[in-house]
């Protein structure tokens, strides 16, 4: 395998890839902020109780668990780029689907796309860090991932609350979550090489 030596004063190729993944992590965390902040408004728009609207998180969590188990059970060879792009597309589809959803039943069918997409992005990011960084650098890289998620909460919560107050929770999806997903998709397409492949794991291999 050819080793690329970074040019002095410029970010290394590996660092640029991490930035792309961090943008994807940020995008995947946005809706997890929007849903609880706008829970009451979501319930009102569908004419249901807030407790019923909270089921959206449950459906997303179930989808996340199933996706994580499938990724762990079947050790197919996937390219990092394919997994991240698929994850971001699912998140964007979730935003569009929720925006257009005429009733809560359809919203329940669409929202799990976020759970699936988030797992694809997080698992890919952690796998990339685990296989690309030396042991003494892994903790720092994982810290960046945590910071990206925290930033999504720090930025997303007040913005989502403000936008919901002046418009509706649906506007948050289109003007906050969707742009973040599209920006992430473009970034990943531009910087990730097609042939960068995740390592193969046998089924049930730890």
Where along the chain do its domains lie?
A: 14-191
pLDDT value for 196: 63
Report the pLDDT averaged over residues 124-132: 83
Helix axes 80-100, 112-132, angle to 10 degrees: 160
- pLDDT range class, residue 146, cuts 50, 70, 90: confident
Q: What is the CATH number of domain 14-191?
A: 1.20.1250.20
Q: Where do we find the tokens 């668990």?
A: 65
- Find the mean pLDDT for residues 158-168: 84
pLDDT in tens, 15-37: 788 888 888 888 888 878 888 88
Give the pLDDT score at 113. 94
Burial call 113-146: b when 16+ CB within 10 Å, e when fewer: bbbbbbbbbbbbbebbbeeebeeeeeeebeebbe
Query: Do 24 and 81 form a contact (C-beta atoms < 8 A)?
Result: no
Distance of CA 185 to the CA centre of its chain: 11
Strand, coil or helix: 29:
helix
Structure tokens at 167: 């418009």
pLDDT at residue 12, as a whole number: 56
Question: How many alpha carbons fall within 13 Å on the CB side of residue 29?
Answer: 20
d(CA 121, CA 94): 15
pLDDT in tens, 60-98: 889 999 988 888 776 556 777 888 899 999 999 999 999
Residue 68's pLDDT is what? Answer: 86
Examine the pLDDT at 47 and tell me if it is beyond 90: yes
Other Cβ atoms within 10 Å of 12 Cβ, number: 12
pTM of the model: 0.82
Q: Give residue 73's pLDDT.
A: 74
pLDDT band at 129 (very low <50, low <70, confident <90, very high): confident
> What percent of the chain has a predicted confidence (pLDDT) above 70?
84
């Amino acid at each position: 395998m050819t080793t690329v030596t970074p040019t002095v004063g410029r970010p290394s190729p590996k660092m640029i890839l991490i930035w792309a993944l961090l943008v994807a992590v940020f995008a995947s965390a946005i809706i997890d902020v929007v849903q609880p902040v706008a829970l009451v408004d979501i319930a009102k728009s569908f004419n249901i109780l807030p407790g019923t609207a909270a089921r959206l998180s449950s459906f997303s969590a179930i989808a996340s668990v199933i996706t994580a188990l499938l990724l762990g059970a079947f050790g197919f060879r996937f390219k990092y780029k394919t997994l991240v792009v698929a994850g971001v597309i699912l998140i964007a589809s979730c935003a569009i689907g929720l925006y257009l959803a005429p009733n809560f039943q359809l919203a329940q069918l669409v929202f799990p796309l976020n759970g699936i997409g988030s797992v694809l992005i997080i698992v890919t990011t952690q796998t990339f860090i685990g296989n690309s960084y030396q042991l003494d650098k892994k903790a720092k890289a994982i810290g960046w991932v945590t910071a990206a998620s925290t930033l999504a909460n720090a930025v997303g919560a007040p913005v989502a609350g403000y936008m919901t107050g002046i418009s509706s929770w649906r506007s948050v999806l289109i003007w906050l979550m969707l742009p973040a997903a599209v920006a992430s998709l473009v970034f990943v397409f531009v910087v990730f090489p097609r042939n960068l492949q995740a390592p193969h794991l046998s089924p049930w291999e730890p």
